[in-house]
Amino acid sequence: MSAFLSVFLFFSSFTVKANEIVFPAFPEPVEGISSTHYLILRDNENSNYFLFMPLDPLEVKMTMADNDYRIYFRTPAMIYTWNQEERNWNIYREITTWGAFKFPIRKYEDGIIEFLYSSFDFYYSTDFMQGRLFFQKAPIKANFLTQMREVEMGATMMTVVSLIPLLVLLIVSLMGFRKAWAWLSKVLRKA
């Protein structure tokens, strides 16, 4: 069991990052306006990312009108933007009661606007597609080592994890020593 765990931990330290990009820390929720729920999309035309943090994710819907997709917020929300050259998320827009974020249908269909991550299922609200899923819940994944860093005792855990391969080697050595000792005892008894 420990051999499997040490091999797993050894190879997990060399895995490719779960996300293609490392986002800066999300802004803290704004009381009465946003929560920890999120929806992230990317505008590939100018390499901007948009972070939507609604207060109630069930009140966020997708509609189509006037050759535009519109993300309707029937709830307060914070919208942030970020470019890879920047260090933090910047406030793009604050929605206090309800509002919309729109982009051309062409941009979505051509892949210029991409939906990347969401902590909730995102549905259509137009008449002919009422209640159909637009974007399924797809939370940001973190690899094992990233999750360990978030643990309160991350430093202690890292020390313990780094000792596992050494402990496995020690156990194997002790087992080998035991076998060698048994063989040597057997040879000496016969002599």
3-class DSSP assignment, residue 1: coil
pTM here is 0.61
Question: Where is pLDDT greater, at 15 or 111?
Answer: 111
> In what side-by-side order are the strands of the sheet with 122-124?
99-104, 68-73, 60-65, 122-124, 133-135
Q: What is the mean pLDDT of residues 153-179?
A: 81
Determine contact, residues 92/99, Cβ cutoff 8 Å.
Answer: no
* Percent of all residues in the chain with a pLDDT value above 90, rounded to a whole number: 5
pLDDT confidence of residue 13: 43
User: 73-84 burial by CB neighbour count: b if 16+ within 10 A, else e?
Assistant: bbbbbbbbbbee
* pLDDT (0 to 100) of residue 147: 52
Cα of first residue to Cα of last residue in the chain, in angstroms, is 39
Average pLDDT, integer, range 110-122: 87
| Identity at 96, one-letter amino acid code | T
Task: Give 38-54 pLDDT, tens digit per residue.
Answer: 989 888 888 889 999 99
Q: Say if CB 53 and CB 29 are below 8 A apart.
A: yes
Structural tokens at position 34: 């946003």
Structure token digits, residue 128: 């002919």
